[in-house]
Structures are given as structure tokens and as C-alpha cells.
Homo-oligomer: A and B are copies of this chain.
Amino acid sequence: MKRWLSLLPVLLLTACTQMPLRGTGDLGVVIERATGRVAIVDTTAKSILARVEGLGDLSHASVVFSRDGRYAFVFGRDGGLTKVDLLLARIDKRVMQAGNSIGGAISQDGRLVVAQNYEPGGIKVFDAVTLELLSEVPTQSKVVGLADLPGQRFAYALFDKGEIWISDLSDPRVPKTQKFPAGMQPYDGLVTPNGRHYMAGLFGEDGIALLDTWRPELGTSKILEHYGKGQEKLPVFKMPHLRGWAVAGGKAYLPAIGRHEVLLVDTATWKEAGRVQVKGQPVFVMARPDGRQVWVNFAFPDNGWVQVIDTLSGQIVQTLQPGKAILHMEFSPRGEHVWLSARDDHMVSIYDTQTFKRLATLPADSPSGIFFTSRAARTGF
């Protein structure tokens, strides 16, 4: 009897303390790349809630979120796919799904998680609840630029084959795939925020492959023929992340390759509509959710700087030095704040996007990607 009673607190504890009652709309994760760890953050309190270890090689990790905002799916460079429970702050499930992976996506309805792989190539389709493997699409090529499209479809590019594929996973065990020519060595891709236009940047030639996924029968077209390394063969310190592309006010803002410029493109005609001179070779070019500002970070040796373009004036309105090696930026869901990871200062900084004041800094071990649960409700993230 006494033993029973003495168990009472323990029972209550196990039943409840692991159950923080809270919403998930203001949660997120910060990748701590050097330690195979993620920090779970609260964007309202601007604080770190917990850390989860054992996620493997996170040197090029990306994250998508479950439809309910409770789980983060972390894609590791080593092919590990880890489902992290943000409320219990622990690994819910983990599978080694490939030898070398560079990211993934989640289906419109949240039921399917898809990984894109370098080795052995191809994409793999998993049940988002169980992480059971449902199907694969072999490609005999490195896969890049995987993006979810409306209607349980996924678009991605094949580096070695120079193609864009769209796989329809309406029946997740029987993928239906359409193939389109892209150009030489697509190295990354993205879909516009409305999920309509898929674009693949080309490493082997200048220009960008564009596919209107509302009218795939029209096939791909080549836009921005001069976009790329060009004839001068400038030294490129880091290929920019297309996924960061900003679309605001009918214009796309994209990082020039090898040049200290951000290019403006008219999204109606896909013709160049101007350039903005910036402090270095841009890596991420990201629009604040309302589209009024575009934030830019840079490749080495300028990766300690961040610049802000006002999309109304087309001018740079702010230049910041948030820390050493700024790898990533993430806006709060409605854009009042931006979080910046400073890898070599082992710190995440939070800025007010209106006043440009630094509101807080959080310690993090070599932080890279920052991802908030509001991505769960958006296409192409």
C-alpha cells in the first residue's frame, strides 16, 4: 500500500509534466549543425524551449512541418529523416532513408513526406504519421529543388539528366510522373508562392528553366538567358539558394550569381526589370511576408552583412552586421520580426523589421537553418 502511495507523485508526473498545454502556431526549430541537434523555439517569448539531440549530420538540413504544427520533419545530409515532436521535445520517429540527402517536402494535405536524394538519387515517399516508405521514384540522377505543388504533386529537378519531373502522388503507392527538359545541370529549384510556376536554376549554362504547372502541356521555357555565371566566368563563392527567392508586388527578387547584385524580374513577363547593387554575392533573398522589404545575406567574405531593400523605392534602406557567418533568415509569421543565425558567433539574433532594432539574442551551437511552424500552412516551403 505505502509503495503504491509513494508512486502517486511519479504517476502524476509521468502522466502530465511531459505535456505542456500550449498552441503550436508560434513554435519553430533552429538547426545546430555541428552537434546534430535542433533547438525548439517560441517566437512569442523569443526563447529556446528545449533541445533535441541525435539527428545525425545536419550540415545541410532542411525542415517541414506537420499539418497540425506539432511535428518537425528534419532532413539530414546523411539521409536521416527525423520526426521531432515539438510538444514532448523528443524524437518521435527516425529512419535512415538514403546515403546522401539534401531536403524534402510535405504534401498539400500533410499526409505524405517526400525526401530528395543525391545518393542513390530519386525521391522517396513516406507516410507522415508512421514514416513507412510508401513508394519511390528512381531517377538515375541527383535530385534537387524538390517543391510541393497543390493536388498532392511534387516538382523537382534532375542535375545529371537536365530534366524537371512532376510526380502526382494522389495514389501515394503508385506515383505518376511527367518529365520535361530543363537545360544543363539544374542545381536548385523553387515554386512561386501560389504553387504555379516552377523554376530551375542551371549550373551548366546561363538562364533559368520555367514550367507553368497549371499548363504543363506547354512544356518548359527558358527565361533570363543571361542569368548565371555568364561569359566572364566570375568566381562564385557559393551558389545562391533559389528557395529563398522573394516574390513581392509582381516582381521576383533573385540573387545574381557571382555578382554583387539582386535581380528584379517581372513575374508577368519573366523579363528582367532592374538590378540592385548589394554588398556581396547574395545567397538568400527573402521577402518579408507583406512584400514591403527584401532581406539579403551574402557569401564569404561578406557573410557578416545583411542588407534590406525597400521594394517601394527599390533602394537599400538598411545594412546590418548581425554577427559572423549569417547563414539563414526566417520571418515571424506576419513579418514583425526576423530571426538570423550567426554560425560563427553561435547565436541567433531577433530583429524588429520596422525599427531594425535587435530585440534579443539566443545562444545556439553553430546555428544554420531556422524554420517556423507557420510554414505548414504555405506552399513550396
Known contacts A19-B19, A151-B354: A292-B4 contact under CB 8 Å: no
Known contacts A26-B68, A373-B25: A150-B5 contact under CB 8 Å: no
Q: Tell me the dominant secondary structure on chain A's binding face.
A: loop
Is A374 located at the chain interface by the 8 A CB criterion? Answer: yes
A residues 258-277 with Cβ under 8 Å of B?
A: 268
Stretch at the interface among A50-58, A76-84, A173-181, A330-338: A330-338
What count of chain A residues pass the 8 Å CB interface test?
Answer: 57
- Candidate in A15, A67, A289, A377 with the most chain B CB atoms within 10 angstroms: A377
Is A130 located at the chain interface by the 8 A CB criterion? Answer: no
- The smallest beta-carbon distance between A46 and chain B, in angstroms, is 11
**Could you pull out 7 A-B pairs where Cβ atoms are within 8 angstroms?**
A5-B5, A21-B88, A23-B71, A23-B87, A44-B68, A108-B335, A151-B354
Task: Please give me the 4 A-B residue pairs with the lowest Cβ-Cβ distance, nearest first.
Answer: A25-B69, A23-B70, A23-B68, A333-B377
Beyond contacts A214-B292, A289-B379: 17 other A-B pairs, Cβ-Cβ < 8 A, are A4-B5, A23-B71, A25-B65, A25-B66, A25-B70, A25-B377, A26-B69, A26-B110, A67-B333, A108-B334, A108-B335, A109-B334, A150-B334, A150-B354, A194-B249, A290-B379, A334-B379
Residues of A within 8 A of B (CB): 1, 4-5, 8, 11-12, 15-16, 19, 21-26, 43-44, 65-71, 86-88, 108-110, 150-151, 194-196, 214-215, 248-250, 268, 289-292, 312, 333-336, 354, 373-374, 376-379
